[in-house]
Homo-oligomer: A and B are copies of this chain.
Amino acid sequence: RHATGTAVQGALFPMDLYETLTAQGDTVRSLKAQKSPKAEVDVAVQLLLQMKLDYKRLTGQDYKDGCPPADGEMVVDTGAALEEGDDQVDPWNVSSSSAKGVDYDKLIVRFGSSKIDQELVDRIARVTGKTPHRFLRRGIFFSHRDMHQILDTYKKQKSFYLYTGRGPSSEAMHVGHLIPFIFTKWLQDVFDVPLVIQMTDDEKYLWKDLSLDECHRYTVENARDIIACGFDMFFSVRASPSFYRNVVKVQKHVTFNQVKGIFGFTDSDCIGKVSFPAIQAAPSFSSSFPQIFGERTDVQCLIPCAIDQDPYFRMTRDVAPRIGYLKPALLHSTFFPALQGAQTKMSASDANSSIFLTDSAKQIKNKVNKHAFSGGKDTVEEHRKCGGNPDVDVSFMYLSFFLEDDDQLEKIRQEYSSGALLTGELKKSLIETLQPMIAAHQERRKLVTDEIVQQFMSPRKLHFNC
């Protein structure tokens, strides 16, 4: 699917490529000036050289510092630089050959995003006065675009808003699906900003062998779970003139060549798939929602999502300035591993591949005990002697998502690594963490009546003033 590679992902225009390249040149110079370790300088230089090759290939001209390319020439994003051994990460496929899962540092370089480093986490803590969420403390949200800009906005007492989504491909959601919502809930609580959630039943209809009615039924069921997270939010609806205006604006500014490059579409794909990225993009612009933002087109958007959704928003960020809108900022999460291991994303159609939000306490216990891939040794004796490997142990990974107490998590890690803690004991910790969490969710979900769903699915006013 990805025939040629580009070091700079998502660069649709020579000017973007030029600017990224210039920035990389600055990075190299500053690393050398600071006498940084040779290995670090080498990596940066290598990336710079690759970028220059790409620049030549895509623009037909040599890169020259201080000489920006002629305006308006179009360049095709050739998709993820998928080389032998690289992980595949796009909205429809995520796969890795390593038991530890996807190499996220490599992904940041390939996608051209920025790492959420300790400095950013500390700044979030300073600006909000709140302890950063465990997903930030533990690198589960690990990559971003323009988060510093969002914090600047917030510091100036100006508002922004959150946008995330869900493609409802089945009735039941699993705990992995909750990750963006748990984090979004924290963001809304901490920053006190509006939230839009887009349910892409159209996407599922276009990509899967499902009828529109099935997709709609899944949407309503999934909406119930999302509402149960306790948001003050607004479901994005297609049937709005303002939303459609922005869809058409995006559609006018993206060519088939571009979506072919970004998403790997082919001539045999249906025109629904080809134009769907515009539907995914539209909620990134505040003018899509006059019900929330009135006439304001300048409220910036922050999108928390798994990194596989980034191609949509690379495209959105490229289009935004050309239609007079702000680029959305992003916070990217890692993938939630399947019970069987971190090589693949979970499948909602395999009940044993994860813990579902509908699972009973007993089901949770059985699934974890029976299916969670263990990093422990074959025998108790060997385990006591050599210790387990938490880096590939799925129960430990799940705990790092859901156990709030950092000290306790670190203690488990150390004791499991040393062999003091056995696999069964580790699994017990996970079971005891998941059971009350899922039960509480189920209690909240029970309170979400059909009327409440109906109310949330209709355009509604939020309590926010923008």
A positions within 8 Å CB-CB of B: 74, 202, 205-206, 212, 237-241, 243-245, 248-249, 251-257, 259-260, 265-272, 274-275, 277-278
Contact = CB atoms under 8 A, between A and B. Distances in A.
A269 B244 contact: no
- Main SS class of interface, A: helix
A275 B272 contact: yes
19 contacts: A202-B244, A205-B248, A206-B252, A212-B245, A239-B239, A239-B243, A251-B272, A252-B272, A254-B270, A254-B271, A255-B271, A256-B256, A256-B266, A256-B268, A256-B270, A256-B271, A271-B275, A271-B278, A275-B275
A268 B255 contact: yes
Nearest to A271: B275
Contacts of A239: 239-241, 243-244
Among A253, A270, A277, find the residue whose CB has the most chain B CB atoms closer than 10 A. Answer: A270
Given A274-B271, A274-B274, A275-B275, A256 B265 contact: yes
A258 to B, nearest CB: 8
8 nearest CB pairs, A to B: A251-B272, A275-B275, A271-B275, A257-B267, A239-B241, A252-B272, A239-B239, A256-B267
Nearest to A201: B248
Contacts of A269: 255-256
Given A239-B244, A244-B239, A271 B251 contact: yes
A267 B259 CA distance: 10
Contacts of A241: 237-239
B278 A251 contact: no
Contacts of A202: 244, 248
A116 to B, nearest CB: 32
Contacts of A272: 248, 251-252, 275, 278
B255 A260 contact: no
A237 B277 CA distance: 22
Most buried by B among A249, A267, A269: A267
